[in-house]
Structures are given as C-alpha cells and as structure tokens.
Copies of this chain bind each other. A is one copy, B any other.
Amino acid sequence: MLGPMAVAEPENTARRRPPRVDAIRNREAIVEAAAEVLAEQGVAVDVREIARRSGVGMGTLYRHFPKKEDLVHTVLRRDFAKWAESARQAAIEAEDPWAALTTFYRQALTGYARHRAIMENFALTWADPDLEGIHQLRLVIEQLRARAGAMGLLRPGVTTDDLLLLLVSLGHAVQITDECRPQLWNRLLRISLDGLRADHSAPLPTDLAR
C-alpha cells in the first residue's frame, strides 16, 4: 500500500520517539485510576488518591494533566463517549424504534449511570450543547426520537430535551438506588416510557424555554 516510505517512516519515528511506551502506560494507568476513583467518589476526590491508585507520583500525574480539572475532563470525555457509544450500540441492535428507545435507556442506565463524576457533570452541563460528551448522547437521543416519532410511536410534543432530562433524572435514580435497591429504577423507567407512548395525547405543558 505505501511502498518504501512505509518501511522508512516507522523507523524514523522509532528513532525520534523512543517509544515512551511506559509513559503511555502511565497515562493510561492514571486515567484508569482516575476514572475508577471519580466513578466511586465524584469530582471531589483528592488528587493524591488518584496518584496512589495509579501507582505514580504526583509529579507524573501533573506532567500528564497540569490541572486536576484536565484529568477530570479527560476522564469525563472518555467515559461520556463510552457511555454514549455503548447505549447507541444497544439501541442499534433493537428490532424496532420503540425497542431502540427502551433499550437505549436500559443500557445507558445500566452502565455508566453509577459513575458519580459522570452524573455530577451531566447534571451541571446537560443543557450545554457544546460539550462533547453530552453532545454525542444528545445526537443518539435525537435519532431515536426521530425514528420513534416518525412511526407515530412517541407521544406528540416530546422533545430531545425531554428525553435527555429524563436520562439525567433516571440516572440520578440509579445512583441513589444502587446500594440498597439495585433495580428499582427499572420500574421508574418503565413507567416513564409508558408515559412517553403515543397513546397519551394530552399536550405536555410548555416550559417557556429559556
């Protein structure tokens, strides 16, 4: 495919970039540990705890992420993306638009909704259309809504914001039921989805947006 260059180039790169494999490994260890800790404890964690769990010194952590915020954002971006993707995949495999919607929620709420930092951030930024991670999620929801709406399955007037807010809202339910009643949220989900069906034709209240 590439000819001689294909040979030369890697060599070249190898020369100038003494493959800092372990740096990458460290970076990943940091992100991994941070993700773990952030999922468990939210953004209020001590940076030292992350360093400890990832087995690196403070300096290493700060070399890779000059501010705590940078690390947090990196983790959030990553995990939001993973989250959106996993829920999207689940939705894709569904048989029909309604199943896609329900599967999406089920998957979304099963996986990352236990992630404390994700949910904290989601609560703060769900309305900000520019944030990468949330944007992906919103896109998925937008598609699901369009598909279900086109088939006349969805209650008229339901917006993407409604569906997104429902996700935040149920996500919170997941968090707080996680330890004592791990599946209780499922019932709420069922209830909400039923309330979203097209057979409810009563108009939803306007919210005088903004």
Residues of A within 8 A of B (CB): 123-124, 126-127, 155, 158, 161-162, 165-166, 168-170, 172-173, 175-177, 180-188, 190-196, 199-200, 202, 204-210
Contacts and interface: CB of A to CB of B under 8 A. Distances in A.
Contact of A210 (B166, B180, B187, B188): B180
A132 to B, nearest CB: 19
A184 B162 contact: yes
A83 B30 CA distance: 44
Contacts of A185: 165
B186 A207 contact: yes
B176 A168 contact: yes
Nearest to A182: B207
Contacts of A190: 195, 202, 204-205
Contacts of A158: 191
A207 B181 contact: yes
A124 B161 contact: no
**Nearest 4 pairs of A and B residues by beta carbon:** A195-B195, A191-B195, A183-B207, A194-B195
Contact of A173 (B168, B176, B182, B195): B168
Contacts of A182: 207-208
Contacts of A204: 186-187, 190-191
11 contacts: A123-B175, A123-B176, A158-B191, A162-B184, A165-B173, A165-B184, A166-B188, A181-B209, A183-B208, A191-B200, A194-B195
